[in-house]
Structure 1
Amino acid sequence: MQTEARVGVVVEGSQRALSSSHGAVSVDGAARKLAQQHRSQVGTISQLLAGGVAGALAKTCTAPLARLTILFQVQGMHSEVATLRKISIWQEASRIVSEEGFRAFWKGNLVTIAHRLPCSSVNFYAYERYKKLLRKVPGLENHGDNMSADACIHFFGGGLAGITAATATYPLDLVRTRLAAQTNVMYYKGIWHALRTISKEEGIFGLYKGLGATLLGVGPNIAISFSVYETLRSFCQSNWPSDSNVLVNLACGSLSGIASSTATFPLDLVRRRKQLEGAGGRARVYTTGLFGMFRHIVRTERLRGLYRGILPEYYKVVPSVGICFMTYEKLKELLADISTSA
């Protein structure tokens, strides 16, 4: 993503250059437009830092809802369908507090941060790099004057970035899921214990269980998220240029999260269940491949089973993605200002 740089020299210089041939009103409008079009350029380390902090902060703020989502997603693996219908978000949250304590809402959050820092860093950084590469593709060079080409760049850039980040940090994502899915029996005692136990009991490839479903889901998810965010943000800045960038980024990020989660939630559910296959020494539930898992879930839990946990996911994704985009954009602005003044 790209952020407007808050560099006063650029605005003032544009005003002086335009004032000799235009009135004060047109000068202000042109200067404001130029300032909005000017993008901040920060170094690689600063960009990675902004992306990592943004992702970690967003995940920490919404960790309780993230854990509820995971618990609902995996209930169908070892529970009767009749029992599942009676469980509400409030009942599950009350059970966690009474049986595990309030801090249990953040169970697995340390590994979430350990996963999210590099994952989000690589995600945002790779997105910027892929955008530059895609803009060199024949037919996409004049992206600024072609909305469809611009949307194509955002979509495929986001998808490739998501796949790159997910592949690079997948074992931590799997460990995070298993730690968050634990209730009363603590089979895994921490990040390193989980990594060693999984490698010993399930082999090194056990750390990559569900990677196929993850890549199928994360590519479209991030692609939709980035493209919807960029499109909405450009629309808002064109129509309401005086509005707060913080609020615009927060609102556009939240809407992009809803769109991407709705489109890819079934794949995310299958990914979570695949990650938990064989966890804690339990027998395998699904003996078929990815599409066989879809058929099994639809047959045993009906179509609604593919969207089990979508409600807490919505509650989570609205603030989470909004905070992530908003924090990333703000940190990029701050780091750009620091590097400029240094």
Structure 2
Amino acid sequence: MSPNVSRRDNQGLQAILKSGLAGGVAGCVAKTVVAPLDRVKILFQASNPEFQKYAGTWSGAFKAAGAIYKVGGFRDLLQGHSATLLRVFPYAAIKFMAYDQVHNILMPTPAQETNFRRFSAGAISGMISVFFTYPLEVIRVRMAFHTRGPEEVVEKLRPSFTRAARFMYRETATSTHQTLPIDTNTILNRYPLLKFYRGFTVTIIGMIPYAGVSFLCWGALRARFVSRDASGYQKKPTPLADLGIGAVSGVLAQTASYPFEVVRRRMQVGGITQPDRWLRWGETAKTIWQSKGLRGFYVGLSIGYLKIVPMTAVSYAVWQGGKQLMGV
């Protein structure tokens, strides 16, 4: 087969669904591996007052995890993980499935692969997946943000997925303070489902560098280090190569998009910290800058690296392995 022959002939519905299934499983496996670190990172990013004393150092992440474990055991380290899996499977499935399809549209032959098209394919697939799964992400963050003292009853206060969703739906915006011509409080009370999209705009903006850089590095590094056959197509890489390339891609993507992630976390927990207002992303970014300066946008980044390296490496490797197993 020539490098100029289109790859679309091999992209039937069955192949698309298999790619999505492989992506969904990959996302769940990867998130489970890093779930405890993910919870600590959320507590740091959202400035949970009980855990700010641990923020800013590598050792602080482990101290925070130890404090959580001491109060509620290993189960508390996985608090919110059920919501994570409910979100991650469709998110990862849609993202990887969309990437395959957008990749084949923008780059139907190996000869047409460019770094700009790789970046565009990744950014588009990331935005598509976020649009469909964002409410599940907000609920998951709410669950992970909740903490309790050692004297509190575990079962009484542990926020389940349905309990967190119910609480968010019933939140009432009552503040009369308005800086926009549109009465956002009235809109929130009239359309409560919008509360599940707190931080959505900054998430979409942040997804462009995150997914774009991640898939750009993934494609570029594979093109550079994975050899091709006589027809121009890449040979089957080893799982170790997929892990290594995925890890590097994750580090670069995390660095490029992390400030957007911090702003997004603050907005997502806005219903807890300021339930009477809809926090806008410009206002949230200004608050972070005034309180901690540039460093405030990188709170928890060290944990982010600890999390993103194994998570991205595992997700890419399992995705590729799953597709190969199913003959895609």
Mapped pair 1:298 → 2:289: yes
What count of residue pairs does the alignment treat as equivalent? Answer: 293
Secondary structure of the residue aligned to 2:117 is helix
Aligned to 1:308: 299
Following superposition, the deviation at residue 289 of structure 1 comes to 2.7
Question: Alpha carbons of 1:81 and 1:61: their partners in 2 closer, same or farther (altered >3 Å)?
Answer: closer
- Per-residue CA deviations over 1:104-161 (Å, capped at 9, x if unaligned) read 11111111111000000000111111122324xxxxx7x6335xx5222211111011
Aligned to 2:268: 275
- Per-residue CA deviations over 1:72-125 (Å, capped at 9, x if unaligned) read 1112x6479788568812221221111121221111111111100000000011
Q: What TM-score does the superposition give when structure 2 sets the normalisation length?
A: 0.80
Following superposition, the deviation at residue 267 of structure 1 comes to 0.4
Mapped pair 1:117 → 2:89: yes
Gaps of 5+ in 1: 1-13, 15-32, 136-140, 338-342
Following superposition, the deviation at residue 45 of structure 1 comes to 2.1
Following superposition, the deviation at residue 219 of structure 1 comes to 2.1
CA contact (8 A) 1:286 1:293 kept: no
Q: What is the RMSD of the two structures over their aligned residues, measured on CA atoms?
A: 3.1
- Partner of residue 251 from structure 2, selected from 249, 258, 261: 258
- Partner of residue 159 from structure 1, selected from 109, 123, 128: 123
Question: Alpha carbons of 1:117 and 1:287: their partners in 2 closer, same or farther (altered >3 Å)?
Answer: closer
Following superposition, the deviation at residue 61 of structure 1 comes to 0.8
Aligned to 1:197: 167
Aligned to 1:225: 214
Tell which structure's C-alpha radius of gyration is larger: 1
Secondary structure of the residue aligned to 1:169 is helix
Q: Distance in 1 between matches of 2:115 and 2:237?
A: 24
Following superposition, the deviation at residue 243 of structure 1 comes to 9.2
Mapped pair 1:248 → 2:241: yes
- Per-residue CA deviations over 1:293-336 (Å, capped at 9, x if unaligned) read 22221111121111000011100100000000000000100100
Question: Alpha carbons of 1:45 and 1:320: their partners in 2 closer, same or farther (altered >3 Å)?
Answer: same
Question: Alpha carbons of 1:80 and 1:254: their partners in 2 closer, same or farther (altered >3 Å)?
Answer: closer
Moved more, 86-95 or 153-162: 86-95
Q: Distance in 1 between matches of 2:46 and 2:277?
A: 12
CA contact (8 A) 2:264 2:281 kept: no
Secondary structure of the residue aligned to 1:261 is helix
Secondary structure of the residue aligned to 2:247 is helix
Question: Alpha carbons of 1:252 and 1:201: their partners in 2 closer, same or farther (altered >3 Å)?
Answer: same
Gaps of 5+ in 2: 150-155, 173-191, 229-233
Moved more, 179-188 or 87-96: 179-188
The one-letter code sitting in structure 2 at the alignment partner of 1:197 is F
Q: Distance in 2 between matches of 1:234 and 1:242?
A: 10
Q: Distance in 2 between matches of 1:80 and 1:178?
A: 16
Question: Alpha carbons of 1:249 and 1:82: their partners in 2 closer, same or farther (altered >3 Å)?
Answer: closer
Secondary structure of the residue aligned to 2:226 is helix
Aligned to 2:227: 238
Following superposition, the deviation at residue 283 of structure 1 comes to 2.9
Match runs of 1:111-190 below 5 Å: 111-135=83-107, 144-145=110-111, 149-184=113-148, 189-190=159-160
Aligned to 1:4: none
Q: What TM-score does the superposition give when structure 1 sets the normalisation length?
A: 0.77
Question: Alpha carbons of 1:157 and 1:187: their partners in 2 closer, same or farther (altered >3 Å)?
Answer: farther
